[in-house]
Structure 1
């Protein structure tokens, strides 16, 4: 069976991929296992050499990948060209620091039992890592997880969304084209393909909806394999009365509308202190009115449009429902508010007079909407921002950076940007983690980003090897009592207990 991939911009067929069945998944994973041992055994320097060569291939083929990506996602050209450079940055970071992150740890003895022992914590990769990715950033999300796993010594199989498999398949095919060992591959298909992957790999990294992530976590738990989840979000922006309103408005529009609002970390709701509310709203509407929505086509030098299409019709219906229900409940659309043109375009929309009874303020919209709510003060903004089952990221705007950081510490989110949006995504030394229903575990985070794909093995060696240890058989009264006195003397922290007087 095959899958037709259609452009969301006009519905035309832009490619066809295979719907790979569970038996094909199992066969592929078994083949990866056969090659993983030598990949791990070759050492970090050799793995980094291949990743750097792959980086060069990606950059050499960047335009081709971006054109394919644009055809299947409806992104404007400016956004279609963001993903390969991001993957290159991840390669550079982990290729440079990964060997240090994976170096054996040698803790010192903490007590008498291990004084004559050499202790090592060794980081060994999970043999095969499965990466399941969504349709919003198919290349970047696939590679940002695959790259550190490969450098850790794992083999990796990527399963992209059935809506956007073309660019990811092309990018991963470049691994073989660069001559690299067969430890990275791509499988295409519907949900059954992803389920079969969860049933066969040793570690699962999933990015997508909370509903699907919960199902994956349940199955992984049944198999007793580890997993990482980056799930949905309803990310708030807090605009305090001392904020730089021009910067805050520009950030709100880009943070909420970039990729047509289809980012887990999109600004999905905005709370503005009353004294600056009207001024802020006017600036946001002015910025949104300037946005150009349409299809860039295959132009590599046009940059004619700012906002593209939504990924599929189902997403259009979610956005439409959120906007229509809000307006029916008393909200106003100051600009936008409806689907437009052919394909899956939805106008960038600014909603006011919203409240927490509305789906647009409580459910993940994943579309080009900016609902803006007036609040009395920062305390109310924090309370409302935390009134959600999600906790992926958040944004605070205040000219007083220290105050902004104090507010950040009160927000229940895995990342908070102060006077910026999305910056944490590019801060690879910091963890990217969702709290509450926004995920489990983290990606990036310096050493964590590569060690998460490893099992830590404890190796203890005796420096001194007498015929028998004092604790070994046979048990004898004299030796046993002496051992008890010695250990008590070392363990106790006051003289009377050390001498056995208490």
Structure 2
């Protein structure tokens, strides 16, 4: 990615744009605008004008627009796949996963939004609200700003816009400046499907563009690094607007001695290397019980040696694509170098692959421990450290010895034991005999603990977060005056105290309190 700017005579920025390159080839595949703060403010203003009309539509009507969008994605899937592969450098198979997510998300939120956002009747045991009808309702926030990452141009960018739109909000999306082209295709989709004007908009640009969106939106959905997430949360806090953050992860996988080793190896390999290991939910560290450690590592090593890496030239042409974000190459190299320097062994890979393009060899590390950076900090690349543990207790302790808590996995044939261990892991999501598949379960919340974020995507809370909660109480049988009202009547308040004592005091006396 390169930025170019021309200046007006008074030094102001004009016609700023960003060149987007293909990480697998280095070739420039497009140019996008580097939107200014004023551009963002204008987009948000347009969205704010469009939002009330969108919110007034019934959930059924909004679902119809989603149906059009789903059909458009399926009809134009090859165009979208090509766009993702070109700007991200991933394999076609990994790009297909994004298409599947997109059409599934449209279908899910179209069907479930009405249920998730329905009014909720409230019942109270208090005698002081007898006769009242009480309920809560969900109200759209207004304009949701979505700031997407570079690793999944469709899933974590437009994918987060779908439930926000289903809740009746307008959305302004700022995709990563490294992968903005797919987001622009989604904007094209809304136009060609006849969506209301300005309900969904894309503003492209670098960090300053995202900052301007945080400064103007009514809600911010951010996916990215913990460092940037802190800044987003701080600014949202200053403005007193809500935000949801999916941040870094150092996701762990435990292989118990009773596990099917074939299943364990397959889950581990895919969890670590799909999308080139560039997923917040990638398996980034593995703990294996000692009795099966040697056999597991031997099988995993053979599988790592079979994995291919390179530019995608169609289905089946390669397994692991390019490194999308240039600085990430240095991070991966540093983590491997630090591990080797502290005594780890590289069984497979370990080096930057020759160009053109940005590639790092799929790398398997053993003899690792928690003094090494690769076991404590997010790597976000096609590397995997595997550590021997004496037992499950040690594995749980080491999994929890992390500032992150996004996702974890357990491989075991004993479901009772695995569930018990899962409940002790400090992670927002735990999968048993799987890794990452929960991301396609739209009814299941997905969010991080600790420094892995705030809030969730998916599930009921994944759409309710895009709303304000309003409580309504209706006195259906109002009298002229209630007992507690001014001017105070001593006899009325003595009656209130007798009622309180009757309802609550006698219960305490019966319990001996």
What TM-score results when the alignment is normalised by the length of structure 2? 0.94
The alpha-carbon distance between structure 1 residues 464 and 307, as it changes in their structure 2 partners (threshold 3 A), is: same
1:76–1:308 contact (8 Å) kept in structure 2: yes
In the alignment, the residues of structure 2 paired with residue 69 and residue 236 of structure 1 have an alpha-carbon distance, to the nearest angstrom, of 28
Residue 5 of structure 2 is matched in structure 1 by none
Identify which of 227, 237, 240 aligns with 2:243. Answer: 227
Match of 1:260 in 2: 276
**Cα displacement string for residues 52-87 of structure 1 (whole angstroms, at most 9, x for unaligned residues):** 111111111111011011001111111111112102
Within 1, Cα distance between the matches of 2:318 and 2:509? 80
Deviations 1:9-42 (A, max 9, x none): 1211000000001111111111111111111111
- Does the CA-based 8 Å contact 1:173-1:185 persist in structure 2? no
- The alignment partner of 2:457 has SS state of strand
Q: What residue number does 1:449 align with? A: 462
Give the Cα separation in 1 of the matches to 2:259 and 2:492: 73
Are the equivalent residues in 1 in contact too, given 2:25–2:311 (CA < 8 A)?
A: no
Shift of 1:456: 0.6
TM-score by length of 1: 0.96
- Once the two structures are superposed, residues 329-376 of structure 1 have per-residue CA deviations (whole angstroms, 9 ceiling, x without a partner) of 221111101011211100000011111111111110000001111111
3-state SS in 2 of match to 1:32: helix
Tell me the residue number matched to 1:423: 437
1:311 counterpart = 2:328: no
Q: Which residue of 2 aligns with 1:243?
A: 259
Aligned partner of 1:341 in structure 2 is 354
Q: Choose from 285, 289, 295 the match for 1:269.
A: 285
How far off its partner does 1:470 sit?
Answer: 2.6
2-structure distance, mates of 1:32, 1:290:
50
1:43 pairs, out of 58, 71, 77, with 58
Secondary structure of 1:465's match? coil
Q: Find runs of 4+ consecutive structure 1 residues off by over 6 angstroms.
A: none
Are positions 1:489 and 2:486 aligned together? no
Deviates more, 1:460-469 or 1:36-45: 460-469
Aligned to 1:122: 137
Of residues 134, 138, 147, the one that matches 2:162 is 147
In the aligned structure 2, how far is the partner of 1:36 from the partner of 1:82?
31
1:382-431 deviation digits (Å, cap 9, x = unpaired): 11111110011111111112211111111111111111111221122221
SS where residue 492 of structure 1 aligns? helix
Alpha carbons 2:284, 2:384 under 8 Å: kept? yes
Partner residue in 2 for 1:71: 86
Report whether the alignment pairs 1:464 with 2:477.
Answer: yes
Please state whether the residue corresponding to 1:90 is helix, strand or coil. helix
Query: What SS does structure 2 have at the residue aligned with 1:35?
Result: helix
Can you list the C-alpha shifts for 1:279-306, whole angstroms capped at 9, x where unaligned?
Answer: 1111111111111211124x4xx42111
Which of 211, 226, 247 is the aligned partner of 1:210?
A: 226
Q: 2:399 matched to which residue of 1?
A: 385
Return the alpha-carbon distance in structure 1 between the equivalents of residues 222 and 102 of structure 2: 17
What is the CA deviation profile of residues 156-206 of structure 1, one whole-angstrom value per residue up to 9, with x for unaligned ones?
Answer: 111111100011211232112210113111111001111110111111111
Provide the residue aligned with 1:93 in structure 2. 108
Distance in 1 (alpha carbons) for counterparts of 2:374 and 2:238: 35
1:111 maps to what in 2?
126
Q: Which secondary structure does the structure 2 equivalent of 1:49 belong to?
A: helix
Who is 1:186 aligned against?
Answer: 202
Quote the Cα distance in structure 2 between the aligned partners of 1:401 and 1:467: 62
Q: Quote how far apart the aligned CAs of 1:488 are.
A: 3.7
Native 8 Å contact 2:252 2:408 kept in 1 = yes
Question: Separation in 1 of the partners of 2:441 and 2:416?
Answer: 20
User: Match of 2:341?
Assistant: 328
- 1:275 CA displacement: 1.5
Secondary structure of the equivalent of 1:206? strand
When structure 1 is superposed on structure 2, of 331-340 and 473-482 the one drifting more is: 473-482
Mapped to 1, the partners of 2:157 and 2:301 lie a distance apart of 35
Cα distance, 1:141 vs. partner? 0.9
Correspondence 1:200 to 2:213: no
Moved more, 28-37 or 395-404: 395-404
CA deviation profile, 1:203-235 (whole Å, cap 9, x unmatched) = 111111000000000001111111111110111
Task: Note the alpha carbon deviations across 1:237-289, whole angstroms, 9 max, x for none.
Answer: 11111111111111111110111100001110111111111111111111111
DSSP 3-state at the match of 1:87: helix
Give the stretch that moved more between structures: 434-443 or 423-432: 423-432
**Contact kept in structure 1, 2:150 and 2:325, CA below 8 Å:** no
Contact kept in structure 2, 1:65 and 1:171, CA below 8 Å: no
2:9 paired residue number = none
Residue by residue over 1:311-344, the C-alpha shift from the partner in whole angstroms, topping out at 9 and shown as x without a partner, is 1321111111111121122211111010112111
For residue 491 of structure 1, report the CA deviation from its aligned partner.
4.1
SS of the residue corresponding to residue 431 of structure 1 reads coil
8 Å Cα contact 2:265-2:296 kept in structure 1: yes
- In structure 2, C-alpha distance between the alignment counterparts of 1:172 and 1:270, rounded to whole Å: 40
* Structure 1 unpaired stretches of 5+: none
Aligned partner of 1:162 among 177, 189, 209: 177
Whether contact under 8 Å (1:391, 1:414) holds in the other structure is yes
Q: Could you list the runs of 5+ residues in structure 2 that have no partner in the other structure?
A: 1-15
